[in-house]
Amino acid sequence: QVQLVQSGAEVRKPGASVRVACQGSGYRFTDFYIHWVRQAPGHGLEWMAWIMPGSGVTRYAPKFQGRITVSRDTSISTAYMDVRKLKSDDTAMYYCAATYFYGMDVWGQGTTVIVSS
Amino acid sequence: SSELTQPPSVSVAPGQTATITCSGDALPEENTYWFQQRPGQAPVLLIYKDTQRPSGIPERFSGSISGTTATLTISGVQAEDEADYYCQSADSSSTYRVFGGGTKLTAL
């Protein structure tokens, strides 16, 4: 079946970096956008970026431009999001989502990132 | 502006109809999507391209658009529909995506 599986929870200190991985299976990974969305505890969904895996083209929300990088490795059907200079308010659940058929209709299970000294 | 505005909460008695609105300047030009998120779970797509329902989504969920306001209607609300609901669209250049602030639906 079509699914996205994300990497496990991470704990980082302020100022550090983190990489979250998102592996697709059950479909042609290169053909569908991957979006990154985060949700801080008790808050709503926040769109961060998208990547078109086939071309590698990316777009970032202005808020995150310069502090995050989205990439992919098509040989293993995996997208990555790197977040640098972490702050405490980056503590959140990070999701990847694919626009497979209707829109953001396939979601990963989420990756918890905790930023704490 | 690419902001989307939703009411923070909506309450409705079970069996009644709930309406959740989403306002944004770009909505006349950009498609609106609606998601349901239950506690501790990833969001689920309910409506795409303003009014379309993915396969597997119950018919009681419907979407509509009028000018700068999109609406999610849930007919015959059930207890299991208690969740957070988010609208999502794009900026006027179709470059960025944006979510509304979310609406918590309570079935009284």
Q: Using CA atoms, how far apart are residues A101 and A99, in angstroms rounded to an integer?
A: 6
Question: Which pLDDT score, from 0 to 100, does residue B93 have?
Answer: 84
**What are the phi and psi torsion angles at B13 (to 5°)?**
-75, 145
Give the pLDDT confidence of B12-26 residue by residue, as tens digits: 999 999 999 999 999
**Strand B44-47, strand B33-37: pairing:** antiparallel
CB atoms within 10 A of CB B56: 7
CA distance A74 to A30: 7
Backbone φ and ψ of B27, nearest 5°: -60, -30
Reported confidence tier of residue B1, pLDDT bands at 50, 70, 90: low
With an 8 Å Cβ cutoff, is A41 touching chain B? no
Give the integer Cα–Cα distance in Å for A43 and B37: 12
Query: Which residues does residue B9 pair with via DSSP β-bridges, in sequence order?
Result: B104
Q: Return per-residue pLDDT of chain A as tens, 117 residues.
A: 999 999 999 999 999 999 999 999 999 999 999 999 999 999 999 999 999 999 999 999 999 999 999 999 999 999 999 999 999 999 999 999 999 988 899 999 999 999 999
Note the pLDDT tens digit of each residue in A54-83: 999 999 999 999 999 999 999 999 999 999
DSSP β-bridge partners for residue A63:
none
Tell whether A46 lies on the interface with B, counting CB pairs under 8 A. yes
Q: Do A47 and B88 touch (CB under 8 A)?
A: yes
Contact assignment for A45 to B88 by CB distance below 8 Å: yes
pLDDT score of B87: 98
Q: A87 is written with which tokens?
A: 């702050």
Contacts of B83 in chain A (CB under 8 A): none
Amino acid letter at A87?
Answer: K
pLDDT of residue B92: 81
- Pairwise CB contact (< 8 Å): B96 & A47: yes
CB-hemisphere CA count at 13 Å for A36? 32
- Encode pLDDT of B20-59 as tens digits: 999 999 999 999 999 999 999 999 999 999 999 999 999 9
Rounded CA-CA distance A48/A71 in Å is 13
Model pLDDT for residues B59-103, shown as the tens digit of each residue: 999 999 999 999 999 999 999 999 999 999 998 888 899 999 999
Q: Is A38 on the interface with B (CB under 8 A)?
A: no
Reported confidence tier of residue B2, pLDDT bands at 50, 70, 90: low
Query: Across A1-117, where does the E strand assignment appear?
Result: 3-6, 10-12, 18-25, 34-39, 45-51, 58-60, 68-73, 78-83, 92-99, 104-107, 111-115
